[in-house]
């Protein structure tokens, strides 16, 4: 697996475009810390919005507690209340998962945005809790975000620019494209640092 510290969402987007997959990137979400990023396998959890006395906390926490290093929690959440906050962040850090993506709201930003190293990408923030407003309904099912489907164990990457979902059938090919893209970027940066003219760079570079 590629060292994700060298990656960016742009590399994934470009590689997906080259392979003909032009609707695999989700944008417009907020990252808790602009310096963080995450690469891993998706594990999905779906929230149902309804008035209830049972938010099915046991299912949600048991699922989170069984996640493994290398996995990313993907939450199909709500725009009316927050599901993920400081306590779940602390549990996630203990589990060693790679990140959290929430199609909805999160909270406790005093901790999650300033005092932890767990990458959390979400639509926004709210102090309003799930209690009485929703419940965990399903886990490890396919979810759709902005027209992009995310299935359990899909390879996903996110940073401040957005999130990319890699279809299983092109995963190996896409990794090769990204490896090529990284080498090409390094070569171009080397030319720029050597003060090579734009005209000469364009003679040896297919894309810029």
Q: Per residue of the chain (208 residues), give pLDDT as tens.
A: 566 778 999 999 999 999 999 999 999 999 999 999 999 999 999 999 999 988 888 899 999 999 999 999 999 999 999 999 999 999 999 999 999 999 999 999 999 998 899 999 999 999 999 999 999 999 999 999 999 999 999 999 999 999 999 999 999 999 999 998 888 888 888 878 877 777 777 777 766 6
Residue 157, pLDDT score: 97
The structure tokens 């930003």 sit at 109
Compute φ and ψ for 138, nearest 5 degrees: -150, 155
Residue 1, pLDDT score: 56
| Gap between the Cα atoms of 88 and 90, Å rounded | 5
| Gap between the Cα atoms of 93 and 111, Å rounded | 13
Check: pTM over 0.85? Answer yes or no.
yes
Q: What is the DSSP letter of 127?
A: S
Q: Write out the two tokens for 204.
A: 């040896």
The structure tokens 């070569």 sit at 187
Residue 196, pLDDT score: 75
Question: How many CB atoms lie under 10 A from the CB of residue 165?
Answer: 24
Compute φ and ψ for 56, nearest 5 degrees: 55, 45
Residue 207, pLDDT score: 67
| Gap between the Cα atoms of 120 and 31, Å rounded | 6
Residue 208, pLDDT score: 64
């Amino acid at each position: 697996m590629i060292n994700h510290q060298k990656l960016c969402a742009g590399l994934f987007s470009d590689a997906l475009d080259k392979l003909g997959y032009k609707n695999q990137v989700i944008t417009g979400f907020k990252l808790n810390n602009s310096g963080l990023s995450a690469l891993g396998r998706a594990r999905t959890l779906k929230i149902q919005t309804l008035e209830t006395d049972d938010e099915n906390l046991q299912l949600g926490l048991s699922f989170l507690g069984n996640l493994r290093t290398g996995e990313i929690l993907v939450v199909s959440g709500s725009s009316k209340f927050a599901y993920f906050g400081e306590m779940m962040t602390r549990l996630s850090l203990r589990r060693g998962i790679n990140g959290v993506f929430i199609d909805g709201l999160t909270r406790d930003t005093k901790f999650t945005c300033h005092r932890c190293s767990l990458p959390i990408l979400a639509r926004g923030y709210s102090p309003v809790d799930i209690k009485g407003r929703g419940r965990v309904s399903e886990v490890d099912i396919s979810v759709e975000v902005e027209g992009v489907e995310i299935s359990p164990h899909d390879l996903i990457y996110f940073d401040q620019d957005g999130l990319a979902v890699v279809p299983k059938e092109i995963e190996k090919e896409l990794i090769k494209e990204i490896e090529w893209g990284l080498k090409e970027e390094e070569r171009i940066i080397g030319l720029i640092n050597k003060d090579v003219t734009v005209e000469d760079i364009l003679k040896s570079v297919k894309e810029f």
